[in-house]
Amino acid sequence: MSSIGIDIGGTFTDVVVMGDDGSVSTTKSPSTPGRLLEGLLAALTAAAEKEQTDLAALLGRIDRIAHGTTVATNAFIERRGARVALLTTRGFEDTMIMQRMMGMTAGLSPSELTDYSNRRVPEPIVPRSLIFGIRERIDYRGDVIAPLVEQDVHDAISRIKEAGIEAIAVSYLWSFKNSAHEKKTREILAGELPNVYLSVSHELAPRLGEYERTATTVINACLGPLVREYTGQLNRRLRNNRLFLLDSSGGVMTADEAGRAPVRLLLSGPSGGVTAAKYMGRLCGHENIISFDMGGTSTDVAVIAAGQAGQRRETVAGKYHLLLPMLDVRAIGAGGGSIAGVEQGGYIYVGPESAGAEPGPACYGLGGERPTVTDADVVLGIIDPAGFLGGKLALDREKAQEAIKVHVADPLRLSIEEAAAGIKRIVDARMADLLRTATIEQGHDAREFVLYAFGGAGPTHAPAFALDVVEEVLIPASQSVFCAFGAVASDITLSAGRAEPKRYGRDGKGAVELADMEDIFSRLEEQADESLEQQSVPSEQRRFRRVVEVRFIRQTKSLSVPFPGSIEGLVKNFLDAYTKRYGAEAVPEKAGFEFVTYVVEAVGRLPRPDCARYPSAGTDPGHALKCSRQVYDMVEQGFVDTPIYRGEALQNGNRIIGPAIIEYETTTVAVHSGQIGTIDEFLGISIRRM
């Protein structure tokens, strides 16, 4: 069962080819911003050349292709989606505009909130003239208070035709309790506007939150036509190989499902690395993992605890709040391409602005004049200018030196090397803070976790700071293309949910009955099972997990906890999770509980071989030694003669004593003084303190 995983990043497009025997071949090519399909095909062609074949022959022996894409993300950020009209309950036409008064500050960090110039409402996705109030009303019990006035829908259709609308969102009050009015509206729209994309709230986000549900439905409509066109082109260009797309929750979905729910692609890219870390963790026996993905543009961190990746049910995208299950990934604008400079007061800053793929760092020689983290790594001798990307892209050390001299060294009256070391210290310190924040805020002790470092710059930087936070850093064998590997390692995932708020007292009294809960879960499992059937998952490969979102009465936020089959067990799980997250002192002694939303998380397992395991070859890495060169040592604060090893030649059991540099075709690993790296049976590198 051969398969291909693809990840399009801001700087590089990565390709992983997994063979029938579990062997993995990797390729990395520059991304083509604005021409994603062109860059994807170029990367696949490069992968075919590495396999000593052509693209047609490679695709001919592949069973499936899984693809992490930024097409939805970029389109939403740049507002290149379809023109959308919204049909909603009359009297609530301004829901999307008011945003529950949260639009001004949505998505801003605490430091950004202090700058009032950042406080502004987002550009409306649907102009007020294209929001149509429809007479209908269903109450919180699901009872019809006012019937649907179908003539209002027909009147809206007449105006929609005149406006040349490409997509329509439908979001009525309490439609997830009774979907009859939305279903009838969809029927009318589909009959009169067969070529217009339809997005209906009860199908997409049957959850509490009038504004959030509407925003999710509208953004889904905005992205629908573009994503359908993109997946159609992909299918045609890839010769109709079975195509999957990475979604935001850490799994994949078919191209048809992506066309139905494109909003699930908004955070597609970062999820691949988390999925890959979870997959490799099972093979390596690691249940607690910090996933650390440092690429060219940004760094993403996620926590996997007890084998489960952290999830969130709500997120903010483009200053809109969405009801969308996705992996809990923390991101900062710092990567290999992050631009450095000197701010007022004489301090070095790094990021969030990135040089991207075009023009890229100054050392690329493509017109970039400002220094980046990669330029600093070149000046410090960590990255070999002649060996970057296996020699495919020669770097210009002199241009890197000049950029750092002009923009950092001279303003601070430092040597070029001191300025480069300062850039590295700044970015490494930011990464260490991100690790601590991601774990402590969720109630975890980072020392109980293994850090999986990947991405083009992750292995280069993580060993320098991570062992101050964790006990072990693991550099996976496919480290620089790990998100693409995650696409290969992913299964089909989806969730089916139903909001059904019920209260349960501390005394065990309330409106909750176990039989009612079982009935809700049974119907949700039937719904999820039907969706997996539509995506051609065999029945024996389907798995379901029951989860309830619980909160204390009168609280606004809930925690997702597994349902063990009893109400008492559910309450215990919630109290344990709440105590771990917020501390025992934060648990209210007398407050009752509210079971808000019932969720079935479904997985459709896809066939794949396990990664190949390699026999032990002893501890001596001498056969992989290439040479030595002067590399700046952050401990000695000066250049020292450092052995350089060829990563592809290292074997299971080999031990690397720091300081040392391990060069792979697509990344560089820096092992520092006082550290030791050991090659494992999957040819990854475990780095610990000596």
The phi, psi pair for 442, rounded to 5°, reads: -100, 10
Helix ranges (DSSP H) in 380-415 = 397-404, 410-412
Q: How many domains does the chain have?
A: 2
Among 497, 449, 501, 443, which residue's Cα sits nearest to residue 471?
449
In this prediction, residue 420 carries a pLDDT of 92
For the stretch 476-529, pLDDT in tens is 988 777 888 888 888 888 888 888 888 998 887 777 889 999 999 999 999 999
Q: Is residue 608 predicted with pLDDT exceeding 90?
A: no
Q: Is 590 inside any structural domain?
A: yes
Confidence at 225, pLDDT banded by 50, 70, 90: very high
Are 399 and 385 spatial neighbours (Cβ–Cβ below 8 Å)?
no
Please give the C-alpha separations between residue 176 and each of 97, 138, 215, 431, in angstroms, as whole numbers.
22, 10, 15, 42
Domain limit, last residue, from 572, 604, 636: 604
Q: Is 155 inside any structural domain?
A: yes
Are 664 and 480 spatial neighbours (Cβ–Cβ below 8 Å)?
yes
Looking at per-residue pLDDT, the higher value among 165 and 105 belongs to 165
Q: Is residue 20 predicted with pLDDT exceeding 80?
A: no
Query: What mean pLDDT do residues 196-221 have?
Result: 92
| Residues in Cβ contact with 355 at an 8 Å cutoff, skipping those fewer than 6 apart | 337, 338, 339, 361, 362, 368, 370, 372
Looking at per-residue pLDDT, the higher value among 436 and 26 belongs to 436
In this prediction, residue 436 carries a pLDDT of 87
Paired tokens of 480: 């620089």
Query: What mean pLDDT do residues 400-425 have?
Result: 91
Q: Is residue 1 predicted with pLDDT exceeding 70?
A: no
Confidence at 21, pLDDT banded by 50, 70, 90: confident
Roughly what angle, to the nearest 10 degrees, separates helices 36-50 and 210-237?
50
**Residue 393: strand, helix, or coil:** coil
Q: Is residue 111 predicted with pLDDT exceeding 70?
A: no
Give the range with max mean pLDDT: 295-299, 356-360, 594-598.
Answer: 594-598
Listed in order, strand segments (DSSP E) in 247-319 are: 252-254, 289-294, 299-305, 308-309, 311-317
Which one-letter DSSP state was computed for residue 372?
Answer: B
| Residues in Cβ contact with 429 at an 8 Å cutoff, skipping those fewer than 6 apart | 465
Q: Is 518 inside any structural domain?
A: yes
Looking at per-residue pLDDT, the higher value among 455 and 412 belongs to 412
Task: Report CA 389 to chain centroid distance, whole Å.
Answer: 24
Residue 677 neighbours by CB distance under 10 Å: 24
Q: Is 524 inside any structural domain?
A: yes
Task: List the CATH number of the domain containing 213.
Answer: 3.40.50
For the stretch 564-587, pLDDT in tens is 999 999 999 999 999 988 888 899
In this prediction, residue 240 carries a pLDDT of 60
Please give the C-alpha separations between residue 653 and each of 324, 443, 576, in angstroms, as whole numbers.
43, 35, 41
Q: Is residue 10 predicted with pLDDT exceeding 70?
A: no
Q: Is residue 686 predicted with pLDDT exceeding 70?
A: yes
Residue 79 neighbours by CB distance under 10 Å: 11
Which amino acid belongs to residue 247? D
In this prediction, residue 214 carries a pLDDT of 94
Q: How far apart are CA 243 and CA 222, in angstroms?
A: 22
pTM of the model: 0.85
Domain enclosing residue 135, as ranges:
81-218
In this prediction, residue 357 carries a pLDDT of 64
Domain limit, last residue, from 542, 575, 604: 604
Q: Is 457 inside any structural domain?
A: no
Which one-letter DSSP state was computed for residue 216?
Answer: H
Q: Is 64 inside any structural domain?
A: no
Query: What mean pLDDT do residues 208-235 have?
Result: 90
Average pLDDT across the chain, whole number: 87
Q: How far apart are CA 122 and CA 504, in angstroms?
A: 39
Flag the least confident range among 176-180, 333-337, 631-635.
333-337
For the stretch 226-254, pLDDT in tens is 998 888 888 877 766 678 888 888 888 88
**Residue 591: strand, helix, or coil:** coil
Give the range with max mean pLDDT: 209-218, 258-267, 321-330.
Answer: 209-218
For the stretch 538-570, pLDDT in tens is 999 999 999 999 999 988 889 999 999 999 999
Kindly state the percentage of the chain with pLDDT values over 90: 40
Domain limit, last residue, from 555, 575, 604: 604
Q: How far apart are CA 480 and CA 293, in angstroms?
A: 9
Confidence at 224, pLDDT banded by 50, 70, 90: very high
Q: Is 235 inside any structural domain?
A: no
Q: Is 666 inside any structural domain?
A: no
Please give the C-alpha separations between residue 262 and each of 80, 228, 488, in angstroms, as whole numbers.
14, 8, 20
For the stretch 30-85, pLDDT in tens is 776 667 677 778 888 888 888 788 878 877 788 888 888 777 777 777 778 889 99
